Structure 1
Amino acid sequence: MTHPVRKRSPEAEALNEHCALIDALLGGTKAMRAAVEYMPRWPAEDKESYETRLKVATLFPAYQRTIEVLGAKPFSKPVTLGKDVPAKLQQWLEDVDRQGRNLHAFLAEVGQEALGYGFSGILVDYPPTQDKDGKALYVTKAEEQAAAVRPYFVQIHPKNILGWLTDKDGLKQLRLLETATEEDGDFATKEVEQVRVLTRGAWVTWRKVEGGNKQDDWAPHDSGVTTIKSIPFVPVYGNRLGFMRARPALLELAYANVEHWQSKSDQQNILHVARVPILFGKGLESTDTIAVGAGSMIKTDRADADLKFVEHSGKAIDAGRLSILDLEDRMRQAGAELLVIKPGNVTETQTLADNEQGACALQKVAENIEDSGDQALQFMAEWVGEAEGGHITVFKDFGAATLAEASAELLLKANQAGKLSNESFYGELQRRGIVRPDATWAEEQEKIDAQGPALGNMPDPDAPPAPPPKAKPKAP
């Protein structure tokens, strides 16, 4: 049995329910091939055929791209600090995690994690100032400053949360799975798994006993006390269901992406079959030796003999292609829905005042990130005896009035990334009613060519002249 300190609680299991699915989708083709449960083996399909089908499958990264695009929107403008943020804290926010990330970059990654997995966390930690025997590591404040001893943020993935206990005052215990790096000889390091148990005003790390042969051989490794009398952990919600309860905001998109993965594999398989015609012979002698090629001929004296290729009609191929295109359109719509403003007020001022009306789902995620940032600053202030940590502002005025407008923006991103042609992009805009229905791409392309290069794309005056365009053939 797993030791209780290492065992994930039922509440934490619920928080991590969808992590395996999201890990696979965000991990790309390699991760999806490894997660064989998302590519079922069909009845009567032999193992070799299944493994071959799995090896050639490629992922259309709809979930990953949507999370990247939508998660970046609240951080398309810098996170701004309020005037109430203490100067002492402001200088630390330039390297808020002691790993080189400033507050903006740190919250951007936390926000993407919360949007993708539904949950993320910020632990406001402080380096130890005493050794195991309780002896002070630093004598003066100058020594502490030289060693960069100050509070810092730690990003906590939901998979690293093993469990928690609460009372009327909030968290009273939190268990986190960690990996500690230690020296292994003169030239190498090794990673050691440990569990950090945080309580109000104290902490204990547990490690597996070396030489133990049972999973429950765990014992306390290190411990200490803290000057802050609460657990400095801040949950960040992508789709909040309750305290420490959440699920991915785009969970249905994730399931649709898995469906696309499976359907695309079927399409690849049927294309492979259809591209290889089967040679069918009738009335040939069993002893006939047949050579197939451009420089060969089949000869027989039998009047009823026949030899021909049997090919797939292609109807199933076209049906599969249309099904995949429809699924891709549904996935784009699912991502765009997070940008659509609910009926009501539409300005940012009204959105902030009303909180519900006039806000899109992604704006609420941005508000959650902003609130969590404020709480983390408050914990940072408490670590150093400051009364207030101050407030931050995250950009939130990016809602779209309609689903057509929101999905068009995602299509533009795909077009700019080279994943969607200009003509297809134009067709999608026309289908959404943004471009008049009687216009044609050929007419629009002529207008684009006539207006000259866009700003920032002017030709180099020193470059050699381009060859003259070829004359278009006249219609008969």
Structure 2
Amino acid sequence: MTSDVSNKSSAYKAMEPHWAMVKALQGGTEAMRAAATTYLPRHARESDEAYNERLQRSFLFNYFETSLSTLAEMPFTKPVVLADSAPEELHNLVGDVDRQGNDLTSWARNVFTDGLGKGLTHILVDFPKVDRAQVQTRADEVEADIRPYFVHVPADALLAAYATVEGGAQVLTQVRISEVVTKVSGYDEVAVERVRVIEREEWKLFEREGKGAWTLVDGGENTLGFIPLVTWYAGKPKGFMLIRPPLLSLVEKNLEHWQSASDQRNILTVARFPILAASGVAEESPREERTSTEGMSAEDVEFLGKSRGQGGITIGPHSLLTTTNPQGKFYYVEHTGAAIEAGAKDLERLEDQMAALSIELVVRRKSNTTATEKDINTGQSYSKLQSMARRFGDSLALAFHFAAQWVSLDVPDDKLKVSVHTDFGVEEGDAQGLEVLFKARAAGDISRKTFLKELQRRSTLSSDFDEELDADYLEAEGPRLGTLRSEPKDEPRPQQPDQGAKESSGEQPAQGQPAAPAGGAA
């Protein structure tokens, strides 16, 4: 029996539920509604119609997406810098690091965002597939602008990765990367799934359309002799390709808020429409009496006739309800409002908790175990986000080391330093003020300009931060990560709400992967 090349590793399956929650929130209200009962359970005895109505009245307060975007921007308010000691060949990559026009800083910001949201992310350092009959020397490669480039492999695109320990070091032996490209057939678009398999000696590319069989469509020798994939963990891993995403608690709180907000919107709808009830009236005894249909439209007359024929009751300004029972009465049942107040307090509590969780990564503490021993001994404090940014710089440096290998450059590690901005954060004593600031921004109570100005005033952003320049950077990046995947041009590319009620007088009715180009190793 032939195994499926798209099979997922056990590590992937363990991380998948976390990524599903993250991606649903990143997709906004539309994605959360599409997930339906996955994140918004159906109430007991709730009909399909009632559930769908409640679902369509639910809107996502996306605190997670706002916090993720804000946190991920902090290390990139200044450009990522490759050390001057690095060879010119590597400096030439910085302006267009992915051969799609993205400079190192803007490209790295998107990679960092993916890793911060999902717990880990990957960088594949690839090389174009070339015809060695035409391109034989390094001089030929330079003349033809053939060079290594970086490919972002999102966390959920790496289906499987396996490694062995050799000489005390962990060495990758196989990775499988999922891709989706769009091919044009006449006037139709056809989505084509791909799986790229990279091993130390060779690489293969498989394709299939729909649910068809996988077909080997390309492959070749891996001339490096190793797999040039860098994995960045946004925290301490729990195992190989296993980690708890650092913002997972915020994700869970946001999902809790989604459910509570749905219940709150639903109970407000119920409370706004009092229910007509009757006492001392037999089911068949209420009747509607009219002495005339004068002044009624044809549609109203037709509706009244149907209601009478079906034994129904029409309620409106031109109707009168009567009963032959002298003790009978009609009245409205209204909501007491207690559950509404409780729901509002629950939403406020959840928003406060989300605000606290969103700033946890930027609070500088001297006891931060991720800081170096030297930093701890000298009394320096570092936030978790600062430590993540420093390690991300190390991952970028390793990617440049792999790029050097592609062009046969032997560069000492100390000459391949990559600096990522880390001069941000807030001391523990200032955390409460920053929490309020994050909450106000997420709620839309303050503008982005004011938010950035306050961050700069508190030294969370550098003193020379240029808000207008940063806006240009954001525009140049295009859509946020996860909303649009670019590909190289040469590639085909809870419980029921409280129903407590009170009677009102009957006389007064109530009112939420980029394809890796085929290259030497990939």
AA of the residue aligned to 2:232: V
Matches within 5 A, 1:325-340: 325-340=348-363
Separation in structure 1 between the aligned mates of residue 12 and residue 348 of structure 2, nearest angstrom: 37
Q: Is the 8 A contact 1:339 1:361 kept in 2?
A: yes
Q: Are 1:367 and 2:402 matched, yes or no?
A: no
Q: Are 1:224 and 2:220 matched, yes or no?
A: yes
> Aligned-pair distance for 1:83?
1.7
Q: Is the 8 A contact 2:361 2:384 kept in 1?
A: yes
Match of 2:87 in 1: 86
Sort the Cα spacing of 1:31 and 1:214 in 2 relative to 1 into closer, same or farther, 3 A. Answer: closer
Separation in structure 1 between the aligned mates of residue 378 and residue 387 of structure 2, nearest angstrom: 8
Counterpart of 1:419 (choices 430, 444, 452) is 444
Q: Are 1:318 and 2:341 matched, yes or no?
A: yes
Sort the Cα spacing of 1:43 and 1:228 in 2 relative to 1 into closer, same or farther, 3 A. Answer: same
> Aligned-pair distance for 1:243?
3.5
More contact order relative to length (CA 8 Å, sep ≥ 6) = 2
> Aligned-pair distance for 1:165?
2.0
Q: Is the 8 A contact 1:201 1:226 kept in 2?
A: yes
AA of the residue aligned to 2:226: S
Per-residue CA deviation, residues 59-96 of structure 1 (Å, 9 max, x unaligned), is 11011111111111111222122122222211221110
Match of 2:30 in 1: 30
> Aligned-pair distance for 1:194?
1.9
Per-residue CA deviation, residues 311-358 of structure 1 (Å, 9 max, x unaligned), is 111011001100110011011111111112224599x99985769972
Separation in structure 2 between the aligned mates of residue 332 and residue 324 of structure 1, nearest angstrom: 12
Match of 1:393 in 2: 419
Q: Are 1:263 and 2:270 matched, yes or no?
A: no
AA of the residue aligned to 1:225: E
Separation in structure 1 between the aligned mates of residue 374 and residue 423 of structure 2, nearest angstrom: 9
Sort the Cα spacing of 1:114 and 1:354 in 2 relative to 1 into closer, same or farther, 3 A. Answer: farther
Helix, strand or coil for the counterpart of 2:95? helix
Matches within 5 A, 1:138-157: 138=135, 144-145=141-142, 147-157=144-154
Unpaired runs of at least 5, structure 1: 435-455, 457-476
The alignment-based identity, stated in percent, is 37
Counterpart of 1:238 (choices 231, 234, 246) is 234
Matches within 5 A, 1:106-117: 106-117=107-118
CA RMSD of aligned residues (A): 3.4
Matches within 5 A, 1:191-210: 191-208=191-208
Per-residue CA deviation, residues 361-410 of structure 1 (Å, 9 max, x unaligned), is 111211221111111111111111222261111111222212x6335335
AA of the residue aligned to 1:168: V
> Aligned-pair distance for 1:310?
2.2
AA of the residue aligned to 1:126: F
Q: Is the 8 A contact 1:277 1:312 kept in 2?
A: yes
Match of 2:519 in 1: none
Separation in structure 2 between the aligned mates of residue 126 and residue 333 of structure 1, nearest angstrom: 44
AA of the residue aligned to 1:365: M
Sort the Cα spacing of 1:249 and 1:147 in 2 relative to 1 into closer, same or farther, 3 A. Answer: same
Separation in structure 1 between the aligned mates of residue 78 and residue 91 of structure 2, nearest angstrom: 18
Separation in structure 2 between the aligned mates of residue 143 and residue 220 of structure 1, nearest angstrom: 30
Helix, strand or coil for the counterpart of 1:411? helix
> Aligned-pair distance for 1:17?
3.8
Q: Is the 8 A contact 2:138 2:407 kept in 1?
A: no
> Aligned-pair distance for 1:152?
0.5
Helix, strand or coil for the counterpart of 2:146? coil
Separation in structure 1 between the aligned mates of residue 202 and residue 379 of structure 2, nearest angstrom: 39
Per-residue CA deviation, residues 107-135 of structure 1 (Å, 9 max, x unaligned), is 111111111000110000111013xxxx6
AA of the residue aligned to 2:18: H
Q: Are 1:249 and 2:246 matched, yes or no?
A: yes
Helix, strand or coil for the counterpart of 2:335? coil
AA of the residue aligned to 1:412: L
> Aligned-pair distance for 1:199?
1.4
Helix, strand or coil for the counterpart of 2:122? strand
Under a length normalisation based on structure 2, what TM-score does the superposition of the two structures give? 0.71
Matches within 5 A, 1:301-312: 304=327, 306-312=329-335
Sort the Cα spacing of 1:181 and 1:143 in 2 relative to 1 into closer, same or farther, 3 A. Answer: farther
Sort the Cα spacing of 1:349 and 1:223 in 2 relative to 1 into closer, same or farther, 3 A. Answer: closer
Sort the Cα spacing of 1:204 and 1:292 in 2 relative to 1 into closer, same or farther, 3 A. Answer: closer
Counterpart of 1:273 (choices 263, 270, 288) is 270
Match of 2:51 in 1: 50
Which of 147-156 and 370-379 deviates more? 147-156
Sort the Cα spacing of 1:137 and 1:99 in 2 relative to 1 into closer, same or farther, 3 A. Answer: same
AA of the residue aligned to 2:331: K
What is the aligned length?
415
AA of the residue aligned to 2:200: R
Sort the Cα spacing of 1:161 and 1:354 in 2 relative to 1 into closer, same or farther, 3 A. Answer: farther
Helix, strand or coil for the counterpart of 2:33? helix
Sort the Cα spacing of 1:183 and 1:168 in 2 relative to 1 into closer, same or farther, 3 A. Answer: same
Matches within 5 A, 1:460-471: none
Which of 3-12 and 352-361 deviates more? 352-361
Match of 1:164 in 2: 161
Under a length normalisation based on structure 1, what TM-score does the superposition of the two structures give? 0.78
Helix, strand or coil for the counterpart of 1:166? strand
> Aligned-pair distance for 1:136?
3.1
AA of the residue aligned to 2:65: Q
Separation in structure 2 between the aligned mates of residue 183 and residue 279 of structure 1, nearest angstrom: 59
AA of the residue aligned to 1:392: V
Match of 2:60 in 1: 59
Separation in structure 1 between the aligned mates of residue 376 and residue 399 of structure 2, nearest angstrom: 24
